[in-house]
Chain A
């Protein structure tokens, strides 16, 4: 069970929510890599943040001017990087966790830039898999 499955039952399931959930699930792999591999969160921490991200993304898609969940995906990645960054900075600032050079450099970067890199990776991955198949 992932973040979207966990919350989907409590939210109800019209077509719009289904679309949001599908887009979220499609992006979840990349989100998880960003949280665990890059921002060095523990698996359990990543799972908790993914639940928050889903709740936020669902409401975000209901805002006026957000036409399609798929088009809103880049904002989901930015939110992911922003929240992971704030979370890690909070832990590092409190002194309970130490940082390595790689994480320190990542935390110095703007979430928007990091998310843009992740989006490019996703595009490259899609391009490769479509060419290989």
Chain B
């Protein structure tokens, strides 16, 4: 460096360069410190190294679906730290990149927790971060996917049908194969919701057969669960159970996950279609336990309504009322469309009179199916 540059101390912030392995060890060390015990000195030590931050983001992405509440807290607090005025982090565009990445993780976790408004805000922040990076396309495409997933959950199926093919093409162009597969899965789930079951089966069959996702057991299991659910909706119970069995094998030694909870839900639906109500109730209960472990209140409430419907069919009305009464406060917290609100009111009133309105229950459950 020339003499003048030394004197002027051009603002550069080169942290010591760590190997990916060392960076991951430090990242795990940081995440192992309980959040309420972390000091600014800890943050300075760990978060000012772009290598460690890169590894932290990777760990948070991997754990997002398994522990959304914890990941949201971590991602949000790291974002706050990086976004504070005067934070000098990394080289060139790295501060903006990490703002984008932590906000994207926080947005995804918020969505899983049913906090939609918060999720949209996080995604806006992610977009703002990625926009200023050297190569914004992959980050912005991931933000677009997260927004589409939110729209799907809000029941805006036509929007998803219109916009997903273009996004899938973007991912393919960027060689982001896993994300392109996720788009196809989202499209198939939307086709299922709009009643185009055979189109959804064709799409998922192609994805499943062409897929080399050995390192993506959760995604593969989710695809199989959806495929099985579509088969059971078409009355092909043998094919459905075969798909569920394959999915179950992929997840058997894994920790609780939305994919495994969804699978149990699909198995419950198949048992119900076959008339095995007790087995259906048990499968739903297992799914509910899994969603509870993941701290996902929306799906827990939805599953309670499925259990209530099943209990009513078993003439166990009183138990069904308990399930509905446990679900309603959570449903109140979720932003619902007017049709859903009317069904909640009807259902609450009928339960109060000890005469559950089954059509209101069905309507509310269908509404939640789209939003859970």
Does B51 lie at the interface of the complex (its beta carbon under 8 Å from any beta carbon of A)? yes
Q: How far is the CB of B183 from chain A (nearest CB, A)?
A: 14
Contact with A along B121-153 (1 / 0, CB 8 A): 000000000000011011101100000000000
Residues of B within 8 A of A87 (CB): 5, 10
Q: Given A52-B91, A65-B174, is A90 in contact with B10 using a C-beta cutoff of 8 Å? A: yes
A55→B14 contact, CB < 8 A = yes
How many angstroms between the C-alpha atoms of A66 and B14 in the bound complex?
A: 22
Q: Which of A45, A52, A62, A82 contacts B5 (CB 8 A)?
A: A45
Chain B residue nearest to A58 (CB atoms) is B17
Q: Which of A44, A58, A78 contacts B2 (CB 8 A)?
A: A44
Contact with A along B1-28 (1 / 0, CB 8 A): 1101101101110100101110000000
Does A64 lie at the interface of the complex (its beta carbon under 8 Å from any beta carbon of B)? yes
Q: Which of B4, B20, B93, B135 contacts A91 (CB 8 A)?
A: B4
How many angstroms between the C-alpha atoms of A89 and B198 in the bound complex?
A: 61
Chain A facing B: main interface SS: helix
A96→B94 contact, CB < 8 A = no
How many angstroms between the C-alpha atoms of A88 and B61 in the bound complex?
A: 38
Does B50 lie at the interface of the complex (its beta carbon under 8 Å from any beta carbon of A)? yes
Does B322 lie at the interface of the complex (its beta carbon under 8 Å from any beta carbon of A)? no
B54→A59 contact, CB < 8 A = yes
A75→B135 contact, CB < 8 A = yes
Contact with A along B51-72 (1 / 0, CB 8 A): 1001000000100000000000
Residues of B within 8 A of A42 (CB): 2
Q: Which of B14, B20, B176 contacts A62 (CB 8 A)?
A: B20
| Total B residues in contact with A, Cβ cutoff 8 Å | 34
Q: Given A63-B97, A66-B138, is A52 in contact with B2 using a C-beta cutoff of 8 Å? A: no
How many angstroms between the C-alpha atoms of A59 and B2 in the bound complex?
A: 27
Chain A residue nearest to B5 (CB atoms) is A45
Contact with B along A1-26 (1 / 0, CB 8 A): 00000010011101000000000000
Residues of B within 8 A of A78 (CB): 134
How many angstroms between the C-alpha atoms of A75 and B20 in the bound complex?
A: 22
A48→B1 contact, CB < 8 A = yes
Residues of A within 8 A of B93 (CB): 79
Q: Which of A14, A67, A83 contacts B175 (CB 8 A)?
A: A67
Q: What is the number of contacts between chain A and chain B, taking CB atoms within 8 Å? A: 84
Contact with A along B159-192 (1 / 0, CB 8 A): 0000000000000001110000000000000000
Q: Which of A12, A56, A94 contacts B8 (CB 8 A)?
A: A94
Residues of A within 8 A of B137 (CB): 65
- The interface centre, meaning the residue of A55, A59, A87, A91 with most chain B CB atoms within 10 A of its CB, is A59
Contact with A along B28-56 (1 / 0, CB 8 A): 00000000000000000000001100100
Interface size class of A (residues with CB under 8 A): 35 or more
Residues of B within 8 A of A45 (CB): 1-2, 5
How many angstroms between the C-alpha atoms of A79 and B14 in the bound complex?
A: 15
List residues 78-125 of chain A with CB under 8 A from any CB of chain B.
78-79, 82-83, 87, 90-91, 94, 96-97
How many angstroms between the C-alpha atoms of A11 and B141 in the bound complex?
A: 30
Chain A residue nearest to B97 (CB atoms) is A63
B92→A64 contact, CB < 8 A = no
How many angstroms between the C-alpha atoms of A66 and B11 in the bound complex?
A: 27
B176→A56 contact, CB < 8 A = no
Q: Which of A12, A63, A83, A90 contacts B92 (CB 8 A)?
A: A83
Residues of A within 8 A of B135 (CB): 60, 63, 65-66, 72, 75
Q: How far is the CB of B7 from chain A (nearest CB, A)?
A: 8
A52→B19 contact, CB < 8 A = no
How many angstroms between the C-alpha atoms of A104 and B37 in the bound complex?
A: 52
Chain A residue nearest to B51 (CB atoms) is A59
B134→A97 contact, CB < 8 A = no
How many angstroms between the C-alpha atoms of A1 and B319 in the bound complex?
A: 76
Chain B residue nearest to A56 (CB atoms) is B91
How many angstroms between the C-alpha atoms of A14 and B21 in the bound complex?
A: 11
- The interface centre, meaning the residue of A14, A56, A75, A94 with most chain B CB atoms within 10 A of its CB, is A56
Q: How far is the CB of B348 from chain A (nearest CB, A)?
A: 45
Q: Given A11-B17, A78-B134, is A62 in contact with B8 using a C-beta cutoff of 8 Å? A: no
Residues of B within 8 A of A72 (CB): 135
A65→B138 contact, CB < 8 A = yes
Q: Given A12-B19, A65-B174, is A82 in contact with B92 using a C-beta cutoff of 8 Å? A: yes
- A–B pairs, 10, beta carbons within 8 Å: A48-B5, A52-B12, A63-B97, A64-B138, A65-B135, A65-B137, A67-B174, A82-B92, A91-B10, A96-B4
